[in-house]
Amino acid sequence: MTPPPQGSGAAGRSEEPLLTIGELLSRLAPEFPDVSHSKVRFLEDRGLVSPQRTPSGYRKFAPADVERLRAVLTLQRDQYLPLRVIRAHLDAQDAGLEPPAAPEPPAAPEPPADLAPPAEAVPEPVAVTRAQALEAAGGATGLLEALEDHGLLPRESAGHYPAAALDLVRAARVLADHGVEPRHLRALRSAVGHEAALVEQVVSPLRRQRSADGDGEAQRVGAELVASMLALHAAALGCALDPS
């Protein structure tokens, strides 16, 4: 179990009044202008800060919580450390130990061999519940909310997310562990919107044929285009990271 932040006991909270989350953000904003409610909730979900709760459920932050959040945000911004390393770093400091060394940066991904996987490999669409999406996020409600707030994950419709939501949340969780948050992916959201429009331009005439063959062809072509765009993204990122 993750130990509470230093000074989070009664003795550490008695000198100064507790802060609401709004007051907390006001204190952090001059140094970290992008900090948000979703960010704080996400860090709480990951065990990096443990605010008190009022009987009605509102968060209250002690001075020790403010300093712990400031340390987390500084390590993310200046050293690009993943959250699991930051937590180990701070827990070691709390225990009076030497913080562990930062991990080596990951190697550049290999570009895929096949730029156009067969359409048969695309799974049949299945609706995703919020409980399933939350499980994929490791229980981090703040991550789901941040993905929704930044337009990467469509908000629930009739209690369900789109079929691809689990893959999206799992990938976002890995990125968040390395300090890449949904707010950093705004350009990706814009690009996805443009690419979705391109796919629609191609498949819409096929759908308008109003026949079983037309519907099947639209689905096949759409899956092929999506698979090729995903492969193109991976290959382009691999090329961009290739030091040669």
Helix axes 165-177, 83-94, angle to 10 degrees: 40
User: What domains can you pick out in the chain, each with its CATH number?
Assistant: 10-94 (1.10.1660.10), 119-241 (no CATH)
Mean pLDDT, rounded, for 220-235: 75
Note the helical H segments in 119-185.
130-136, 141-149, 165-177
Q: What is the mean pLDDT of the chain?
A: 75
Q: Where are the alpha helices (DSSP H) in the chain?
A: 10-13, 21-28, 37-45, 63-79, 83-94, 130-136, 141-149, 165-177, 186-207, 212-241
Confidence grade of residue 244 (pLDDT, cut at 50, 70, 90) = low
CB 91 within 8 A of CB 100: no
**Please, which residues bridge with residue 161 across strands?**
128
CA distances from 196 to 132, 201, 225 (A): 25, 9, 10
The candidate with the shortest Cα–Cα distance to 177, out of 39, 68, 85, is 85
Q: Which long-range contacts (CB under 8 A, 24 or more apart) does 121-124 make?
A: 121/227, 122/223, 122/226, 122/227, 123/163
Comparing C-alpha atoms, which of 10, 66, 72 is closest to residue 46? 72
Residue scoring higher pLDDT (129 or 100) = 129
Q: What is the pLDDT of residues 156-200, one digit of tens each?
A: 666 677 778 888 888 888 888 878 888 887 777 777 777 777 777
pLDDT at residue 109, rounded to an integer: 53
Q: What is the pTM of this model?
A: 0.47
pLDDT at 20: 92
Q: Residue 242 has what pLDDT?
A: 66
